[in-house]
Amino acid sequence: MTIRFSTRSRRIATALTLSASLSMVGMSALPAAAAKTPNQLVIGTLYASSGSFATSSISSYDGLKFWAATVDRQGGVYVKALHKKVKIVIKAYNDQSSATTAATLYNQLITMDKVNVLVSDFGSVLTSVAVPIAQEHHQLLFDVTGTGASFFTKSNPYLVLTSLPTSAIWPNSLANYLVKQKTKRVAVLYDTNDFDQSQYNTLVSRLKAAHITPVYTGGVPTSTTNYAIIDHAIAASNPQAVVEFGYPNNDIAFLQSLNANGVHFPKVFTIFPGQQLQLMQQNVGVSGLANTLTYPTPPLLQYNRVNFGMPLSAFEKQFPSVEHHPVDFLTVAGYNAGLIIQKTLETSPTLTQLGMRHAVNSFSGTLNTIDGQFKIDSTGAQIGERLPVGQLIKRGNGLAVKFLQH
């Protein structure tokens, strides 16, 4: 596998030669640079080596790289449109966790680098700028973890969510659990971004349908790091359960604040202990996470009966030896995105962007991977996967998950 990091040169476009055979296999609609690469296929993506999304972004990027290295060791990915295997080249730029920088770099990948396949960076904030840019340029966007519900519309056929359901349906299991437990006094704190706000909207709607009106609701900027005043405001509402919807840095700061200020609630829910447990444990500690609620995801949630790609057990053995850090959900998500791309290339008779989108539709609902069932609706939103509710239980020097609600 060849990995090419950020540079603004156009060596890919100038160094590769045109293959006349491409027009014979339905490739005339490919961008110019792609048409010059019959023996390799260029995947363009972004990652963040610094800033608030760095830990999650790098994990996801490492998962995608691992997938590319795996298929390249097998001679490349089979491309039905070319009737042969080709090697994968990843063209990656560093957006430094900045949506503004990401917008510029997504444009560059499409208009200057003319990549065959476009993959978004981690999360809804960094994906939010990619969605309209990809649509404007009629470029299919493989969206790894950008789950904001507003991204998915019937007017945009250029979007596929690969590795998580849309965040608007995440809280269904949480709402079911709270209602089942007869939890009447619920406080909900959320970050004001697509990812978290869509979860807030769903949870509050579901609670109100069960005649539960939250005793506290509040939205804060995604950049929030000081929760001391908020903690005490929530405590004043005397909740039985506190739900905090944020990104990893928010979850860490919120839980650290509770511990530092000696504020305790009967139930506390945060998102990212279920996705990046080791990161959360390093920053909050075992005692600070014990008994908290979360959405368990792979590897806490085990999928070993697969019909495409590695089962989780094999992935957990092989990934650390290549990327030199443990598996978390974001590495699974990045690898899974690679699998969806691979299946698309194996299935599509053409490498046109809409041709690949139609190919995704054709295998939607039939694919079981390391991340569960891959199934999308007409807007490209992932609907096959479900997120249960679990509780982190102290076990020895670490934590294990107890599943509470599916």
* pLDDT for 38: 60
- Structure confidence by residue, pLDDT tens digits, 322-333: 888 899 999 999
Burial (CB < 10 A; 0-12, 13-18, 19+), residue 237, is middle
Distance CA 379, CA 384 (A): 14
With cut-offs at 50, 70 and 90, classify the pLDDT of residue 39.
Answer: confident
Lowest mean pLDDT among 18-22, 236-240, 241-245, 252-256: 18-22
Residue 63 has pLDDT above 50, yes or no: yes
Distance CA 98, CA 257 (A): 26
Contact 246, 196 (CB under 8 A): yes
Average pLDDT of the segment spanning 100-111: 98
Average pLDDT, the chain: 91
Beta strands in 246-375 (DSSP E): 267-270, 293-294, 367-369, 372-374
Q: What is the pTM of this model?
A: 0.88
| Cα separation values, 96 from 192, 278, 288, Å | 20, 22, 29
Domains along the chain with CATH numbers: 2-166+303-374 (3.40.50.2300), 171-294 (3.40.50.2300)
For tokens 């939890």, the residue is 183
> How many beta carbons lie within 10 A of that of residue 9, not counting itself?
10
Distance CA 279, CA 263 (A): 22
